[in-house]
Structure 1
């Protein structure tokens, strides 16, 4: 990336400056990150190689798991490595790249969750037309449009940040590069830029959340006309989706839909949605979904059988 700034690197404050706590950060988040990658890869492999998981719902779950793994990878490895050093230096280009990746995969997660809600709406409210509406070509096109929309969102964020002059100081009071902490370091009035950033990220989070809440309200309302067994199965699936929506959107709305100010709890809220949520999502979808659990067990048993031959 071309830069016309006097500052070529930033120093990250991190989660803590205490050496003992930094060791705890290293161990704890290394475990979380490994669990995130393994859990999401298990779901990706199970959906990819299991014929039983060929429905559109699992097609979208595949991309949610892929997005979660990439989203966490854009933040967690840097946090883990930085915990080993007293001075946490990140170059200007690395900082911009991290912001781009954070918003690309964060936005993609929002779009995939909306697509999953749409899939459940069609399956439950319009079951006779499900195969026609949610055919493979439509699902692929929706995912492509989601990637394009995420890329446009992320580029628009970076385009605003790249215009900011940074002439010192260069200490970011955070463990990663994000928009709000970075705006505080700019050598200019950032009020208008902050409004543009909030109107982009904040509006995306809030409108996506409201759309999902309305969708699931309609879905749950329509379950009155289903059989007891159908209601139980649909409720189990929707409960998992609603839980993930709450975990994903709550912190996102808190961070990106407010005036240009920072709070002491910002770091922990960011930790929750950048590292905690991608770790919890595979657990939520596997523990509450018998089809995914059975597919993983079947693939595992096939692997063991092939190794024993």
Structure 2
């Protein structure tokens, strides 16, 4: 990490009944290291012992003053969110942090704490599938989406169950530091490098879904062939299903059609090449199977809202 690079300040707010995995995910993902310019403080409504869920408790060194220090605040999930309200001081501290421009991110049932502030009213949000109905009933002004892994509404972000908290954290790293840093963090966590926020939650189904592993293998196969021509027919042939079945199941599994997924995978590889190499836009377009620089620029602008050149300047500045 360059000596001049300032650390982004992250607070993890532990409420009564906090779930241990939900607390650990942001604390570990954003821990200070050469590849991750973040500083984490774990806090509670006040310093001291916080009784958690699942038989664990936490001794936190910081109280709500950590939210005044932070630039990102995570609210991990906690037990019985539909029955208990967060303390008024916590609600006030979250509102004050939001007013200062702090990003607020909830993992799983932490969404209920954000909902108590009113900041989710009129916005899309999600939570663990078991609690989506309760969240919608308790806070009817929130547009609860039960079919996604996470929702990014800019200043407020929410995620589904615990594992999707990893997806949310990696999404934030991608936005802050770029694809290469996100992929590095994913490798460190032995996690999938990227699952879109639009991917469906893994909710119970009455009929087993035997094709999930087969489609995972097809996605892996496609990732090694992004430089070549890939069609829906190619993907369906590899998966051993009809094009119609592949299209339907791909949307269920990833939130994208097969060819949308291939395009976004190509854009992801292009982003990493822009960050980590000196190859020209034309060369990168060829490398990722998009043919021409004009085609790469078109899709880059449509998906990311910027140009390849500006993206490269943003994520190589100061290196």
Q: TM-score, normalised by structure 2?
A: 0.29
Structure number with the bigger relative contact order (C-alpha 8 A, sep ≥ 6) is 1
Q: TM-score, normalised by structure 1?
A: 0.29
Normalized per residue, which structure has more helix?
1
